Amino acid sequence: MTTIETTRAEPSAPTEHNPHHARRWLILGVIALAQLAVVLDATIVNIALPSAQHSLGFSNDNRQWIITAYALAFGSLLLLGGRLGDLFGRKPMFITGLIGFAAASALGGAAGSFGVLVAARGLQGIFGALLAPAALSLLSVTFTDLKERGRAFAIYGAVSGGGGAIGLILGGALTEYLSWRWCLYVNVPVAVVAVIGAMLLLKKQPKAAHAPTLDVPGTIAIVAGLVSLVYGLATAETRGWSSVVTLGYIGAGVVLIAVFAWLETRAKHPLLPLRILLDRTRGGSFLAVGIVGGGMFGVFLFLTYYLSTALDYSPLKTGVSFLPMIVGITITAQGSAPVVNRIGVKVPVTVGMLLATCGMLLFTQLELTSTYWAHIFPGLVIVGLGIGLVIAPAISTATQGVQDDDAGVASAAVNTFQQIGGSISTAVLSAFAAAAATDYMQGKVPNQTNAALAALNSYTTAFWWSAGIFAGGAVICGLVLRHGAVEKDPNAVPVMAH
C-alpha cells in the first residue's frame, strides 16, 4: 500500500532557493571524487603491503596496523566529524578534510619508517572522518527533488560500493609499474582537484537558527567506545579471541557504546539523536549499510588472497579481476532509483542481499584448479549486482527526511555503520579463516600441497560466513523495512513511506 509520511523536520528549501541547485551535477562530481579518495584508501594499500613491508622492513605481525590505523581513526571519529560539519559548516569541513587528507597521504608516501607510515594512515583516517560526512550531507541538502535525488545517490552509492574494488585495481597498477608509495601519493592530485571544485562551486550556507552545541560526554563515550571495539577486534587475529586483552577491549567498547546510547537519551543536543535511528525505515537502512559493508570484505579480502596465492595473479591482474563486480554495482545502483520511487526500499535491498548470498555461495566451490571465467567471473557479477541493489537505496533512505541541523551526523552515521560493519567482519572472518586453516592441517604432513589446500579451506570458510552475513541481512531487512513507495507531498519533506 502506498502512503505518504510527513516528517517533523523543517521542509527542505525549494529548488529555487537552493543556492546549489543550478550547479548541482558539477557539485555531485566533486563530492563523488572526494568520496572515491576516502573509499579507495580502505583497500588501495592492501596490494601494496608486501612491497611496503620489504621497503621499510616491518614484521608480519605489524603489517595489519597499516590497515587498522586508518580504520581505527576513521570509524571512531565519523560521528564527531559529522557533528562538526553541522556546527561549523559543511563546506569548511569538506575543504579542511580534503587538504588534511592530501597532506597525510603525502606524508605516508614519503614515509621512511614503519612508525611514520602508521601515523600517516591514522591522520588519513582523522581527516577522512571530517570529509566523508560533509560530502554526504552536502549531497543530501543539494538534491531535494525526489527523482534527481535518486539518481544522485545512485552515483554516490556506485562510488561507495565500487570504490574498494577500484582501489584494488589502482593499487595493483601503481605498485606494479611505479611504487607502493604512489598508492598514497595518488590522493594528492585527486584532493587538489576536489578542493578547487569545492571552492568554486560550493557556497557558504547560513547557520541554522537553532544549531545544536557539541555533546561532549556523548562524543567522549562514542569515540572511546569505537576505538576500544575496533582495536580489540584488530588484536583478535594475533592474540586470539580468548585473550584477556582482546576481550577486555571489546567488552569495554560495548559498555562505552551502551553508555553513549544512554547519554543520548538525556542530552539536550545529542551527538546522534536517537530519533534518526529509531525511525523504522531509516534504521533498517542503516542496518543494511552495515551488513553490506561487512559482507563486502569477504569478497575484497579473501578473494584477493585467493587470486594472488592460489592462482598466482600479479597485483595488477588481481585488481583488474574485480572489474565485473564494479560493473555490476554500477548497473543496479543506477537502475534502482526508479524502482525505489515506485515500490520503496524493502524489495530492492532484500533482493540485493539474496543475490549477494548466491554470488558468495559460488565462491565457496572454488578449488586450486578453478579458472577465472568459469568459476570467479559469474560470482563477481552476481555479488556486484546484489551490492549495487542494496547500497544506493540504503544510503539515500538513511539520510532522507532528516532535519537540516542533523544532516551531517546522519551522514556520518551511514559511514560509521559501513566502516564498523567492515571492521567487525574483517576481524571475525580472519579469525574463522585462520582456525579453518589450522584445523585442516591437523594430522597432515606439512608440505606445499597441504599448505595450499589449508589456505584454500580458509578462503572458502570465509566465503561461507560472508554468504551467511548477506543471507542474515536479507532476513533482517525483509523484517525491519516497510514496504511502500515514496510519493511527493508538496507540504512535507519526502521520506520513505512507513
The answer to whether residue 492 scores a pLDDT higher than 60 is no
Nearest to 92, CA basis, from 43, 132, 131: 131
Q: In this structure, are 305 and 380 located in the same domain?
A: yes
Q: What CATH number does residue 43 fall under?
A: 1.20.1250.20
Contact at 8 Å (CB) between 479 and 471? no
Give the pLDDT band of residue 400 (cuts 50, 70, 90): confident
| Structural domain includes residue 10 | no
Q: In this structure, are 285 and 396 located in the same domain?
A: yes
Instruction: Name which residue leads in pLDDT, 66 or 248.
Output: 248
| Structural domain includes residue 105 | yes
Q: In this structure, are 291 and 392 located in the same domain?
A: yes
The 10s digit of each residue's pLDDT in 41-57 is 777 887 777 788 888 98
Please give the residue range of the domain that contains residue 252: 215-268
Q: In this structure, are 367 and 436 located in the same domain?
A: yes
**What is the model's pLDDT at position 487?**
43
**What is the model's pLDDT at position 473?**
94
| Structural domain includes residue 487 | no
Share of the chain above pLDDT 90, in %: 31
Q: In this structure, are 93 and 153 located in the same domain?
A: yes
| Structural domain includes residue 77 | yes
The 10s digit of each residue's pLDDT in 449-464 is 899 999 999 999 999 9
Distant-in-sequence, close-in-space partners of 34: CB < 8 Å, separation ≥ 6: 94, 97, 98, 131, 135, 191, 194, 198
pLDDT, averaged across the chain:
82
Give the pLDDT band of residue 430 (cuts 50, 70, 90): confident
**What is the model's pLDDT at position 12?**
43
Alpha-carbon distance of 396 to 33, in angstroms, equals 18
Sign of the alpha-carbon dihedral angle for 186, 59, 235, 306 = positive
Question: In this predicted structure, which of 154-163, 204-213, 228-237, 423-432 has the lowest mean pLDDT?
Answer: 204-213
Give the pLDDT band of residue 423 (cuts 50, 70, 90): confident
Q: In this structure, are 342 and 454 located in the same domain?
A: yes
**What is the model's pLDDT at position 494?**
36
Q: Which helix (H) or strand (E) segment is 324 a member of?
A: helix 323-343
The answer to whether residue 428 scores a pLDDT higher than 50 is yes
Q: What does the pLDDT average to over 218-236?
A: 86
**What is the model's pLDDT at position 8?**
38
Residues 372-398 as b/e (b if ≥16 CB within 10 A, e otherwise) read: eeeebbebbbbbbbbbbbbbbbbbbbb
Give the pLDDT band of residue 211 (cuts 50, 70, 90): low
Instruction: Name which residue leads in pLDDT, 112 or 210.
Output: 112
C-alpha cell at 279: 525511525
Instruction: Name which residue leads in pLDDT, 437 or 203.
Output: 437
Share of the chain above pLDDT 70, in %: 88
**What is the model's pLDDT at position 405?**
66
| Structural domain includes residue 6 | no
Amino acid at 12: S
| Structural domain includes residue 488 | no
| Structural domain includes residue 21 | yes
Give the pLDDT band of residue 485 (cuts 50, 70, 90): low
Helix axes 146-177, 114-142, angle to 10 degrees: 160
Helix axes 377-398, 346-363, angle to 10 degrees: 150
Tally of domains in the chain: 2
The 10s digit of each residue's pLDDT in 333-371 is 877 767 777 778 889 999 999 999 999 999 999 999 999
The answer to whether residue 208 scores a pLDDT higher than 70 is no
**What is the model's pLDDT at position 466?**
94
The answer to whether residue 489 scores a pLDDT higher than 70 is no
Q: In this structure, are 227 and 209 located in the same domain?
A: no
Question: In this predicted structure, which of 51-55, 300-304, 486-490, 494-498 has the lowest mean pLDDT?
Answer: 494-498
Alpha-carbon distance of 346 to 352, in angstroms, equals 10
Instruction: Name which residue leads in pLDDT, 18 or 45.
Output: 45
| Structural domain includes residue 486 | no
Question: In this predicted structure, which of 69-83, 140-154, 354-368 has the lowest mean pLDDT?
Answer: 140-154
From 268, 283, 304, give the residue that closes a domain: 268
Alpha-carbon distance of 179 to 177, in angstroms, equals 7
The answer to whether residue 119 scores a pLDDT higher than 90 is yes
C-alpha cell at 372: 577465472
**Helix, strand or coil for residue 272?**
coil
Nearest to 428, CA basis, from 229, 245, 237: 237
Q: In this structure, are 225 and 302 located in the same domain?
A: no
C-alpha cell at 273: 539523536
**What is the model's pLDDT at position 17?**
58
Q: In this structure, are 261 and 297 located in the same domain?
A: no
Give the pLDDT band of residue 106 (cuts 50, 70, 90): very high
Q: In this structure, are 378 and 445 located in the same domain?
A: yes
Q: What does the pLDDT average to over 75-100?
A: 87
Q: In this structure, are 200 and 226 located in the same domain?
A: no
Q: What does the pLDDT average to over 106-134?
A: 92
The 10s digit of each residue's pLDDT in 230-270 is 788 877 777 878 889 999 999 999 999 999 999 988 888 88
Q: In this structure, are 313 and 256 located in the same domain?
A: no
